[in-house]
Amino acid sequence: MCGIAGFAGVGLGRDESAQRLRAMCNAILHRGPDSDGYFVADGIGMGMRRLSIIDVAGGRQPISNENGNITVVFNGEIYNHHLLRTRLEAAGHRFATRSDTEVLVHLYEEYGADMVGHLKGMFAFSIWDAPRQLLMIARDRSGMKPLSYRSVGGGIVYCSELRSLYAFDATALEVSAPAVMQYLAFGYVPDPNSIFAGVRKLPAGHLLIWQPGRDIEVRRYWKPPPPTHERLDESEVVQAIRQKLDAAVASHLESEVPLGAFLSGGLDSSTVVALMSRHAAGRVKTFSIGFAEEEYDESAAAQEVAAVFGTDHTSLVLRPDVEEIFECVAAMFDEPFADSSAIATFLVAQLARQSVTVALSGDGGDELFGGYTRYGDALRRDARRSLRFAGLCSTIGLMLPHSTFGRNRLIDLGRSRRGRYASTVLQPVRTDEGGVGLATQSGGLTTIEDQLREWFAIDDDYAAAMMMTDFQTYLPGDILTKVDRTSMAVSLEARVPLLDFDLVDFAMAIPGHLRVTPTESKRLFRRAIRGLVPDSVLARPKRGFEVPLGRWFRGPLRHRIEQLRTSCSSIESFVDRAAVKRLIGEHTVGRRDHSGQLWRLIVLDYWLAALRSGSLGRPPVMPSAPIAAPRAVDLP
């Protein structure tokens, strides 16, 4: 696990290239505290920070082939590297290390850009082909590892985190107003856009080719399969899911450093821990956190699962310094990022890092198998929708004042399928829909439905369409970004076995109505894990990894809400101040719960201030003292 950075064709001399490259890598020191490595030649510079996991002694990067004309820097893990190595050795390739990184070099020699189709893992890497003067960059199929880039003249600069671009040349970065509008809707800036104008994220399942004198080529090498129309034997599908889950978790256990798992007590993390217990050599180390507020404390559920599988469990129930932890987590992200569960994710990562260097996570199962409660809600609402009166309802609703009873219900009745789904995952941007986006800014008049137009394919399989959209937007933009940044902030590698490629391909091809119904989430997944996890886990209602935002807004974060009311200095060029004051007023008196929108605003305000101060170009700063002392749980 590492962070990478580099550039090609930017017109720098070797000395300046080395200085810039070192600054870019120093900005991501947290991603790889064990070592660094640099490759600088005419027209090219590649660097990395390494967190040593596999071949700790011999896997230093960059790594080149035998004659040194193919060189790679790599962030991630390749889970099938042993099989690939065997095939490559049979084809005559010779290896100098045991690392999965070196497999990439020889795989490129053998297959060129088509190498990515042979990889199973999480990755973002760059390969320099000196004879062809070609730079190739690739990102894994689900977007587990980040990669951003910017065109500079006829060249390119790329990195794992945007803070490296800031370190390369802060003066060239300008906040994009359309990206801010997307952030207000999504709570993050969806791929391929970034918060900076002219900076792009390489989307999941894509590779990039740069050569001097040619336009940058971005090519999709994989996309999720559509649901099959064939009639399936459900018992065979359930059996296949069970087998693929087992293989996925087993393949993610290779490590030369201590390894454990996050455990919330929900379906996904409990499944991962159950399968780890089958394959791990000793007791599995598990970690959970909870908050002192009982309704936000999942530690008891986690302890129950830990007891069943006899894990070495560490639990932490805390009442954090909210102001300090807010600033710490908000500054952890290289773009504005408003998923408040990042606080909880960071705290459990911080807890785990005290004992292990690698932790398995249960993320990804909801998008594959239909776990979000909003899927059932949307399916029920869709069944009640009247096409005949949809347009009329929407028109009347938008004409009514915001405080009018039934206004939102009328608007919802008038939405299309795409709009109905969008209303469950996005906040409105337009002020007439209840948003705060300034109408004079590009994107400030975009409807909530238009925000998803490029991703949501209208299809008869509404359930599958929602899951496919989440897989391409919410999963890489929110969930995987959250896991990557919060774990890497404490130099912890987080692995996501439920996004194993074989499992993803199989799950996405299952018709949506088999995966989720209006009344049952994760229908086939639940059948597949019955008998593997305790019945209490199957019966427990889904809970998100939430934090007590409402209480914090009435307490330790109240002053930040008041700052929005009295002064919007950082965000005033992007938002309608009257709309912001309306949100605050309605929230304060309890008329509406606007916690989500208000959180987005205070995060944006803080992030823009951090950008102006120059702190974006430095690694994130951890809390000055431990949030609380962890305790081992005495389990029967």
| CA–CA gap between residue 237 and residue 223 (Å, rounded) | 22
Query: Cα(522)–Cα(285) distance, rounded to whole angstroms?
Result: 27
Between CA 278 and CA 256 the distance in angstroms is: 19
Distance CA 548, CA 322 (A): 10
**DSSP sequence for 437-501:** B-TTSTTTT--TTGGGTTT----S-HHHHHHHHHHHTHIIIIIHHHHHHHHHHTT-EEE-GGG-H
Strands 155-159 and 199-201 come out as: unpaired
Q: Which residues contact 242 (CB under 8 A, 6 or more apart)?
A: 528, 529, 532
Instruction: Please identify which residue in the block is written with the tokens 């059932």.
Output: 376
Contacts of 36 (CB under 8 A, 6+ apart): 22, 25, 47, 48, 49, 50
Question: In whole angstroms, what is the distance from residue 406 CA to residue 408 CA?
Answer: 6
Joined tokens for residue 82: 């042993």
Integer angstrom CA distances of residue 394 from 285, 375, 379, 414, 431? 52, 22, 19, 4, 15
Nearest to 407 by CA among 433, 388, 426, 382: 433
CB 369 within 8 A of CB 475: no
| Cα–Cα distance, 371 to 141 (Å, whole number) | 21
Using CA atoms, how far apart are residues 361 and 354, in angstroms rounded to an integer?
A: 17
Q: Are the C-beta atoms of 25 and 619 separated by less than 8 Å?
A: no
How many Cα atoms are found within 13 Å in the side-chain-facing hemisphere of 121? Answer: 27
Q: Which residues are catalytic?
A: 2
Q: Which residue has the tokens 């791990």?
A: 280
Q: What distance in Å separates the CA atoms of residue 529 and residue 84, rounded to the nearest whole number?
A: 31
Give the side-chain half-sphere CA count within 13 A for 276: 33
| Maximum Cα–Cα distance across the chain | 74
Which DSSP string do the residues of 229-252 spell out, in sequence order?
-S---HHHHHHHHHHHHHHHHHHT
Residue 448 one-letter amino acid: I
72-83: b (≥16 Cβ within 10 Å) or e: bbbbbbbbbbee
Cβ atoms of 335 and 473 within 8 Å: the answer is no
Q: How far apart are CA 107 and CA 81, in angstroms?
A: 10
* Backbone CA torsion sign across 464, 465, 469, 470: negative
Strand order in the sheet with 2-8: 35-41, 44-50, 2-8, 155-159, 148-152, 199-201
The count of C-alpha atoms lying within 13 angstroms of the C-alpha of 608, restricted to the half-sphere facing its C-beta, is 19
Q: What is the distance of C-alpha 121 from the center of its chain?
A: 15
